[in-house]
Structure 1
Amino acid sequence: MSLSLSRIDYAAVGVTSRGTTKIFPAKEHKQTQKFAVADHDGILHVYGVKKGELQVSFKSLPGPKINKLVLGGTGHDKIYIAQVNTVKGYTKKGKLFLEFDTNLIDPISALYVLGPDLAACARDLYHRYRDCKDADSYLAGETLYDVVLLPTDGSFIFAILACGDCAIRVLHGTKTPAVLRLPSVPTVLSLYREGDVESKERVLVGTMDGKVGLLILQGNKTLRITWLLNMTSSEITSLDTYELQDGLDILIGRQDGTVEVYTFPEEDMLPSLRYRYNASESISSVIGGIIGAAGYPEVLVTTYSGRIFGLTTKPPGLLEADQNDGLTKLKVEIEQLQEKLKEEKEAASFSVDPLAPLILSVNHRMTLNREDVSYSLFIELDTPIDNILIQSDTPIVLLDVESNSAVVSLSTCNPREGNFVLATYRCQINTNHLEMRLRTIEGQPGTLQIYVTSQVQPKCCRKLLIPIPALSFHVRQHEVENPETRTEGPFNALRLIGGFTIAEMHAWLSFALPDVPERPLLEEGEAILTYVSSFIGSVIKCRYKKGSAVFLGENISTIIILRDILTREATKRKIKLDVFCDVSDGSISRVLELVFPQLNAVDDLITKVKILNALEEWELKENPKENLCTEYQELLQKESEIKSQMAKDSELLERLHAVITDLYVDWERAKRSRRIGSKDAAEKLDAALKSRELAQVLQVFVDASNTPSSCKD
């Protein structure tokens, strides 16, 4: 790290959404710049520094929650905000010059302005307006996280969409969009810029699993990506490029509160970390500019709770010298607190029922981690968290999180009453966000009920309902020909015929599979989805239309789980289904081929750990060169790495054995229409699994296959 930055606290506003802080271009080189910030109270603030003091240039009246803020106009000096489905435009001085109802049904979640063009996204619908008149629209069928517009030589423009199906889509007029597949969901788009000059063909992209890439729209109008940071980390919430000191830098804000500065890589070079800071709450905006002092660039940061501060290149000694005696600043802070207290009292006076609990503002997200097939649950308040209570109506396993300092208490539960897990997380003082990890059991969907209380407002409580899918699958793709998924192979087939609609079947699938699209994407009246198992890599393909659905899966266990869930949902709604299940004999060997490399790797790892523990017990680690063979010496050199891998998932071997056991149970059920318990199946497989021979395990399945390979329910 070669960059030294110092924090300066500027102001505090209400809770903020991502991308609601923007800096106006400087009038003169290296002069201080004004900035605008909008919050969930519906208030738009414009700040500027005069005579070393931060002053409010403009402040609007409260209103509906502001979801997005962008700059537009010839000199990027106009402010556009999105409130519900309305876009308002303000000048820097606070004059309202535009109030435009987009007629979108859902609230605007992404906004961009380029000249006379205004792009707005609401859930899965993109719409572009030119001079406030309809220009074009696109129904993605996927959650749209962000949008940017790029100019072209002609009258058309390019719209770059960050989509929830791990894809970037490029729209060019009414033409079919170009699609670029990514390994994770893109959540943030930001134009590459040098100073105040924005690129017309380069866009930074941040993903849900913490990667940062550079999108380049090439001369032939095709899109390619160069990964700048390709490691897994906390979700990217904000991006910018700016020259802080000695070259262009990448500014990154993350959900876990981390602010990072990386050098922008040159050819044949990787970006290097120059600075890292943690704000203890998620970052909603990071942007480079000159705010506090002329000539000193800084990173302007806004957090979820509305704290605004700068990370400046100005040396700490000069910062202290600029403060006369500190009393003036303290007086301003006291006045701000008094004003905020007054606003709170005024807001409280409008309460209809003084005994009714207030609703806390909670930011939360649950995502699937592909590395260890667990779910990360992130919860954040704009005030310190007191307690988080978790109740699950399906079996789950709560896992340890290194960064989690909360005290966990587990209560006795009665599964017969539909209560499998009841846990309380008691947070330390001034903890605004908490990350939890949990692992589900394949085939058992359910719901997490979460209750959150605040230390500041102990009488306030917020309840969250989070669905738990039955299958831990990822890499959803619409295109069957996608190279990441297999199109040929031994597939088991599940066919359903009945009186259901496409929308109905689509809703039922959401109980089984994670991140099902907002709407089914239809191709000639048929919806197509493809998923890959995050644990073993088996594929399942879903094709459904009105009254008919076909599911192809390499793993018979997946097919059985789907069959049980879909028939249960149909029974609830009194819809008659004809169910056909065709079993492929080759699917067993295919699944075992996927599982056995992992099984052997874990067995080898366990053996190495046992050897290391034995060497420690025999006290042979002090002089390894004299006492041990070359193989054991190499093990000692990699001891920390080996034990670290083992600590990541100490129960991986049992989970892999459980996959094979479930495979046998479901194979018996599908091939012979015979139900067998997991305990009996484990006993039949025990000797074969201990041998670590694929042929022996496969023989157990072959011996059980004595009936025709199809069944009908």
Structure 2
Amino acid sequence: MSLPLSRIDYAAVGVTSRGTTRVFSAKEHKQTQKFAVADHDGILHVYGVKKGELQVSFKSLPGPRINKLVLGGTGHDKIYIAQGNTVKGYTKKGKLFLEFDTNLIDPISALYVLGPDLAACARDLYHRYHDCKDADSYLAGETLYDVVLLPTDGSFIFAILACGDCAIRVLHGTKTPAVLRLPSVPTVLSLYREGDVESKERVLVGTIDGKVEITSLDTYELQDGLDILIGRQDGTVEIYTFPEEDMLPSLRYRYVVPKKLFSQNASESISSVVGGIIGAAGYPEVLVTTYSGRIFGLTTKPPGLLEADQNDGLIKLKVEIEQLQEKLKEEKETASFSVDPLAPLILSVNHRMTLNREDVSYSLFIELDTPIDNILIQSDTPIVLLDVESNSAVVSLSTCNPREGNFVLATYRCQINTNHLEMRLRTIEGQPGTLQIYVTSQVQPKCCRKLSIPIPALSLHVRQHEVENPETRTEGPFNALRLIGSFTIAEIHAWLSFALPDVPERPLLEEGEAILSYVSSFIGSVLKCRYKKGSAVFLGENISTVIILRDILTREATKRKIKLDVFCDVSDGSISRVLELVFPQLNAVDDLITKVKILNALEEWELKENPKENLCTEYQELLQKESEIKSQMEKDSELLERLHAVITDLYVDWERAKRSRRISSKDAVEKLGAALKSRELAQVLQVFVDANNTVPAPSSCKD
């Protein structure tokens, strides 16, 4: 990293949403620029620096929470904000020129303005307005996180949508959207820009699974060459640049590795990062806004000059503080404050739970705009709480009674001035439930915020709508679950949310049917779902997945007294398919454990001092990779047991589905023990097809 930046604290506003800070274009090259910030108090602020001091150019009255702020108009000098389902437009001087009710049912979560066109997204609905009149719309059936508009040579507009099903959709009028599949959910879209010129072809995309979720993106030239500015949920601000020779028109078709120039953590999630010249003419900087509303700059101005400017303003600042203290004292003496003790206090909590594919655990992120005091976690299903290296909170576990539906009760006591906390947990396949979270603040200890987060039964990811017809894949390695009954498509869609993660709020129908496809985050087996009114078909490579899904769907139907005819066709080839997926991982972790044992033995025998004299070439190579090997082992020390558990559950569910008999996990472990110890796929497969265990196979697996 080779970009020296110094921090300047500018101001503090209320809690902010993502993408609510924008920088105006400068009238002259390298002159300071004004910027606008909007917060959850409904206040729009416009700031500018004059003579080295930050001044408020405009400040609106409080109102409904502002979820989004964008710039539009000629020269991007008009401010557009989204409050609920209403869009308001202000000039840079604070004059209200537009108040437009979009008639959307849900609050606007994404907003973009291009000339006379305004795009607004609310939950899973995209709508575009031309001169405040309906132009076109699109029901995605997925959560829409962001939107940008791109002009064309004609009268059409391209709309780029960041969708919750790991996809970017490109809309062109009323035509069927083009779909670009991504490995993770896109959360942020930003046009590639050079100075004030925005590209008509390149769009930057930030995703949830970019190691840490990306919350803001921008491009700006801080020194030589264009840089990419990144804000993350964990509070990190990063700056990357590309090698100059790679910045070619064909960049979109090439894989280019960027170089990290700068990284700094702000101790709370980042709402916005924008490039501009803010504090001093001629010195580019990164303007940063955090979740709690802190606004600061990371400037290229040398530290020596910066300190001189700060010393000059220190005397003025002290005088202003003294004046404010005197004014506050006078108001306390003359004013009578009346506080309603029964008035509820509401904490503003930012939270998200995401699935980590590497170790199939969930990351739970909790953030307040004030320091966190305690976080209490209660689960009505078995979960395992995992250690997080960056988590400094003190964890206390309480005794629970599972018979009362209480499996986990834990308290995280946070250190002073901790605004955000990350926790990790692992669930048990087939056991859905609800995670109840209670958060208290150090500033408002009597105020508590409750969150309810559903825990799905299956740890799956990467779903998509465009899958082949399941009816053509009933043969081969897929086990087929078929349901027939008097249910509606909305009903079964709601039932699926208990079993599958991130099920869209509304089913996206294609010729009257909804289609979903999932991949197991742990072993990679596939589950395909197709359902409509009165019938549903589910195809799964893993029989355990099919059995779990069947149990949950039949349970929900029973609760609502809906009769179901259930048919389960078991494919013999599915067993070998799943074992082929598991065994490479099983052999890899076995080899890793063996290497760790060898390294520990070498250390115990004190043979590491002169490896060239005492050890063979193989052991010398192990010593050279010792830190890497032990680091891999520490990532998931229980991986071998979890892989064995997958095979054990597979055997239990196979016996249940194929032979209509129930066996315990203990019995399954005994039958599989010798075969698993041999690490031979053929021996394990033989346990499943052993003729001694064969009984007449049923035509369906109704039990």
TM-score, normalised to structure 2's length? 0.94
Name the CA shift for 1:456/1:486 in 2 (closer, same or farther; >3 Å). Answer: farther
Offset, 1:520: 0.8
**Contact persistence 2:370–2:441 (CA under 8 A):** yes
**Contact persistence 1:17–1:304 (CA under 8 A):** yes
**Contact persistence 1:261–1:276 (CA under 8 A):** no
Offset, 1:344: 14
CA distance in 1, matches of 2:12, 2:252: 27
1:319-342 deviation line (CA, Å, top 9, x unaligned): 121235444453487489879999
CA distance in 2, matches of 1:375, 1:340: 50
Name the CA shift for 1:705/1:291 in 2 (closer, same or farther; >3 Å). Answer: farther
Offset, 1:672: 1.6
**Contact persistence 1:556–1:663 (CA under 8 A):** yes
**Contact persistence 2:378–2:407 (CA under 8 A):** yes
Instruction: Determine what percentage of the aligned residue pairs are the same residue.
Output: 97
Offset, 1:581: 1.0
Name the CA shift for 1:302/1:88 in 2 (closer, same or farther; >3 Å). Answer: same
CA distance in 1, matches of 2:289, 2:253: 17
CA distance in 2, matches of 1:551, 1:337: 67
**Contact persistence 1:263–1:274 (CA under 8 A):** no
1:349-369 deviation line (CA, Å, top 9, x unaligned): 999952344110000000000
Offset, 1:145: 0.4
**Contact persistence 2:480–2:568 (CA under 8 A):** yes
**Contact persistence 1:111–1:119 (CA under 8 A):** yes
Offset, 1:60: 0.2
**Contact persistence 2:461–2:501 (CA under 8 A):** yes
Moved over 6 A (4+): 269-277, 335-352, 482-488
CA distance in 2, matches of 1:172, 1:583: 44
CA distance in 1, matches of 2:515, 2:693: 34
> Structure 2: any 5+ residue segments left out of the alignment?
256-264
Give the secondary structure class of the aligned counterpart of 1:2.
coil
1:603 equivalent in structure 2: 590
Name the CA shift for 1:487/1:573 in 2 (closer, same or farther; >3 Å). Answer: closer
Name the CA shift for 1:641/1:340 in 2 (closer, same or farther; >3 Å). Answer: farther
1:450-500 deviation line (CA, Å, top 9, x unaligned): 000111111111000000000000000111149999997411111111111
1:339-391 deviation line (CA, Å, top 9, x unaligned): 99999999999999523441100000000000000000000000001110000
**Contact persistence 1:391–1:449 (CA under 8 A):** yes
> Structure 1: any 5+ residue segments left out of the alignment?
213-234
Offset, 1:211: 7.1
CA distance in 2, matches of 1:359, 1:335: 32
**Contact persistence 1:263–1:273 (CA under 8 A):** no
CA distance in 1, matches of 2:617, 2:43: 69
2:91 equivalent in structure 1: 91
**Contact persistence 1:485–1:532 (CA under 8 A):** no
CA distance in 2, matches of 1:240, 1:103: 31
Decide which moves more: 470-479 or 487-496: 487-496
Offset, 1:705: 8.2
**Contact persistence 1:68–1:110 (CA under 8 A):** yes
Name the CA shift for 1:36/1:530 in 2 (closer, same or farther; >3 Å). Answer: same
**Contact persistence 1:265–1:271 (CA under 8 A):** no
Offset, 1:126: 0.3
1:143-166 deviation line (CA, Å, top 9, x unaligned): 000000000000001000000001
Offset, 1:712: 2.9
Name the CA shift for 1:301/1:29 in 2 (closer, same or farther; >3 Å). Answer: same
**Contact persistence 1:672–1:705 (CA under 8 A):** no
**Contact persistence 1:262–1:273 (CA under 8 A):** no
**Contact persistence 1:406–1:428 (CA under 8 A):** yes
Name the CA shift for 1:76/1:435 in 2 (closer, same or farther; >3 Å). Answer: same
Offset, 1:503: 0.7
Name the CA shift for 1:637/1:482 in 2 (closer, same or farther; >3 Å). Answer: farther
**Contact persistence 2:388–2:424 (CA under 8 A):** yes
CA distance in 2, matches of 1:264, 1:333: 45
Name the CA shift for 1:211/1:163 in 2 (closer, same or farther; >3 Å). Answer: farther
**Contact persistence 2:269–2:291 (CA under 8 A):** yes
Give the secondary structure class of the aligned counterpart of 2:147.
strand
The aligned runs of 1:9-158 (5 Å cut-off) are: 9-158=9-158
**Contact persistence 1:471–1:514 (CA under 8 A):** yes
**Contact persistence 2:456–2:497 (CA under 8 A):** yes
Give the secondary structure class of the aligned counterpart of 1:659.
helix
TM-score, normalised to structure 1's length? 0.92
CA distance in 1, matches of 2:500, 2:442: 36
Offset, 1:301: 0.2
Give the secondary structure class of the aligned counterpart of 1:174.
coil
**Contact persistence 1:262–1:271 (CA under 8 A):** no
Offset, 1:264: 3.1
CA distance in 2, matches of 1:270, 1:342: 62
**Contact persistence 2:482–2:568 (CA under 8 A):** yes
How many residues were matched structurally? 691
CA distance in 2, matches of 1:484, 1:243: 54
Name the CA shift for 1:670/1:332 in 2 (closer, same or farther; >3 Å). Answer: farther
**Contact persistence 1:19–1:68 (CA under 8 A):** yes
**Contact persistence 2:474–2:480 (CA under 8 A):** no
CA distance in 2, matches of 1:346, 1:84: 39
CA distance in 2, matches of 1:154, 1:477: 32
Decide which moves more: 699-708 or 600-609: 699-708
Name the CA shift for 1:692/1:22 in 2 (closer, same or farther; >3 Å). Answer: same
Name the CA shift for 1:642/1:256 in 2 (closer, same or farther; >3 Å). Answer: same
CA distance in 2, matches of 1:267, 1:83: 44
CA distance in 2, matches of 1:339, 1:544: 69
Give the secondary structure class of the aligned counterpart of 1:146.
strand
**Contact persistence 2:474–2:539 (CA under 8 A):** no
Give the secondary structure class of the aligned counterpart of 1:56.
strand
CA distance in 2, matches of 1:6, 1:520: 49
**Contact persistence 2:437–2:451 (CA under 8 A):** yes
Name the CA shift for 1:337/1:359 in 2 (closer, same or farther; >3 Å). Answer: farther
CA distance in 1, matches of 2:252, 2:293: 26
CA distance in 2, matches of 1:193, 1:340: 46
1:41-90 deviation line (CA, Å, top 9, x unaligned): 00000000111110000000000000000000011000000000000000
Name the CA shift for 1:537/1:41 in 2 (closer, same or farther; >3 Å). Answer: same
CA distance in 2, matches of 1:610, 1:421: 34
Name the CA shift for 1:481/1:497 in 2 (closer, same or farther; >3 Å). Answer: closer
**Contact persistence 1:70–1:80 (CA under 8 A):** yes
**Contact persistence 1:86–1:100 (CA under 8 A):** yes
Offset, 1:405: 0.8
Is residue 2:357 matched to residue 1:370? yes
1:104-145 deviation line (CA, Å, top 9, x unaligned): 000000000000000000000000000000000000000000
